[in-house]
Amino acid sequence: MHHRISQRARAATAAIAIATLALTACSTSTGSGSDDASDGGSIDVVTRWASGSPEAAVQKRVFDAFTAETGIKLNVTEGLENIDDQVETAVAAGKSPDLVIVNLFDKTLGWLDAGVTVAADQYVEDWGLADTLKPDALKAWRVGGTDDGELQGLPFSGFSWPVWYNTDLLTSAGVDEIPQTTDDLIAAAAKLRSAGIGPLVVGGSDWTGQKLFYQIAQSFTDAAAMKTVMQKGGYCSTDSVMQGIELFTELRDGGVFVDNAAGLNSDDMYAQYYSQKAAIMSAGSWAYAGAVDAGTGVEKVTTLGGFPLPGGAAFDKPTAFQDFTGVGFMITKEGAQPGHIEKVRQLIEALYTEANVGDFVQTTSLLPSVTGDFTAFAANPLLAQSLKLDQSVSIAVLPDVWIGSASDPIIQVLTSAYGSSSAQQICQGLDDATASAS
């Protein structure tokens, strides 16, 4: 087994073995991957970008132009929240798509081991993408996140995940500078509360709370040690992680988070920040468009930065997340077959053209995984800030790939953490959640 979370690969294999249903669109398509001289043939694509999203709008433009130019028909199925289960079910039913456009998360991390998808290393070389894709983006998609791991797919959508500061609200509360230390943050929260302004808003009951917790919890820990704890547990027995968990409870008890944070979700978080009822939030680049769409002008008074540091921190600058484990292109075994792979290649190359990447940057504010200067496409002022973010922040370890299938039980533990759990209760809950997912 070459995957670092082999137990999840086994789970994926088991799921494939017992599944009986097929994806609707894929099951009804005919002639998948076949060569048809009259119309160019077809391939089946399952995509994370569902109708109604900005990404889906760009995707449609690219797909329509591709079919018009090549004659290759794309049988497109929109993935649901359980897109990983959908694909596994389709594979089990003998209706595998050729290409899956999906995040690198949860069960998709086991697809290479389970034989759902094929390694993309050779395609990067053969299709001339080796010098086009950013090294960090390729590393993020390699097994184990290492330079020598097999490439699980082709990265496309990166993201920045900074802390947003509403400088108008901070100033009105008497906070003249963006907090750089956690002591500054606690003091700023007190002033904001006195002014009737919510301090840091977070969805304590969902993934947004989970990510912010981990950003804080690793304040005193180097990346390698944090990845080990995320993957294998040991929260309670790792002193530097316990320092971070205790820092989290100190910030919580110091009034940094808005009231009832444990009962909020991501929608509540965006609503409070966009409506300028709260002054600070941690949110990814996918939210930039929403800030503008809110129509409150919040994007004009927002400065992006990092999360403040405590004394003795392991980082030299406030922290933010940035990664390329957003959406990428995973080629299935079916898609790698003769008669299919050449069409897949043509579609992949179309998606990576500068014009199409630029369209995604301009429309969806994604951080591109390809080299080049895309600032001309950054019409959103938050995206323009974001493209320069790595100059002012340290990049923290995003937990997704490392905690894997423990994600949901960990969210339950952390919901209580945003309530009143002690540091010891939190670390024990995280260790138990990690063990239960092994």
Mean pLDDT value across residues 352-367: 91
Residue 59 lies in a domain: yes
- Map residue 367 onto helix, strand or coil: strand
* pLDDT at 248 (0 to 100): 98
> Among 362, 383, 404, where does a domain finish?
383
* pLDDT at 35 (0 to 100): 44
Inform me whether the pLDDT recorded for 39 exceeds 80: no
Range of the domain at 274: 161-321+391-437
Inform me whether the pLDDT recorded for 171 exceeds 90: yes
Inform me whether the pLDDT recorded for 190 exceeds 50: yes
For residues 276 and 379, membership in a common domain is answered with: no
For residues 166 and 215, membership in a common domain is answered with: yes
For residues 154 and 177, membership in a common domain is answered with: no
For residues 204 and 91, membership in a common domain is answered with: no
Tokens standing for 268? 């509540």
For residues 378 and 433, membership in a common domain is answered with: no
For residues 232 and 348, membership in a common domain is answered with: no
Residue 7 lies in a domain: no
* pLDDT at 80 (0 to 100): 78
Per the model's pLDDT, the better-predicted residue between 438 and 352 turns out to be 352
Please provide the average confidence, as pLDDT, over all residues in the chain. 89
CA distance 107 to 121: 20
For residue range 388-412, list pLDDT tens digits in order: 887 899 999 999 878 988 988 999 9
In the block, residue with structure tokens 């500054």: 184
Residue 190 lies in a domain: yes
Band (pLDDT 50/70/90 cuts) for residue 348 is very high
> Among 364, 383, 402, where does a domain finish?
383
For residue range 103-159, list pLDDT tens digits in order: 888 789 899 999 999 999 999 999 999 999 999 899 999 998 888 899 999 999 988
Instruction: Output the pTM of the full model.
Output: 0.73
DSSP H helical segments within 304-372, as ranges?
341-351, 354-364
Band (pLDDT 50/70/90 cuts) for residue 20 is very low
Residue 212 lies in a domain: yes
For residues 433 and 331, membership in a common domain is answered with: no
| Measured CA angle at 139 (ends 134, 141), to 5 deg | 105
Residue 210 lies in a domain: yes
For residues 289 and 425, membership in a common domain is answered with: yes
* pLDDT at 165 (0 to 100): 98
With a CB cutoff of 8 Å and minimum separation 6, the contacts of 99 are 43, 44, 45, 46, 329, 330, 331, 332, 335, 344, 347, 348
CA distance 306 to 395: 9
Q: Which whole-number Å values give the CA distances from 38 to 35, 42, 70, 167, in the listed order?
A: 9, 11, 11, 60
* pLDDT at 419 (0 to 100): 97
Residue 17 lies in a domain: no
Band (pLDDT 50/70/90 cuts) for residue 367 is confident
Residue 30 lies in a domain: no
Q: What is the CATH number of the domain that holds 60?
A: 3.40.190.10
Q: Are 233 and 431 in contact (CB under 8 A)?
A: yes
Taking phi first (over 0 means left), then psi (-120 to 50 degrees means alpha), and beta for anything else, what does residue 91 get? alpha
- Map residue 278 onto helix, strand or coil: strand
> Which of 1-10, 157-166, 178-187, 389-398 shows the lowest per-residue confidence on average (mean pLDDT)?
1-10
For residues 272 and 417, membership in a common domain is answered with: yes
Residue 264 lies in a domain: yes
The total number of residues shown for the chain amounts to 438
- Give the chain's domain count: 2
For residues 54 and 105, membership in a common domain is answered with: yes
Strands 99-103 and 42-47: parallel
For residues 268 and 295, membership in a common domain is answered with: yes
For residues 305 and 417, membership in a common domain is answered with: yes
Mean pLDDT value across residues 419-435: 97
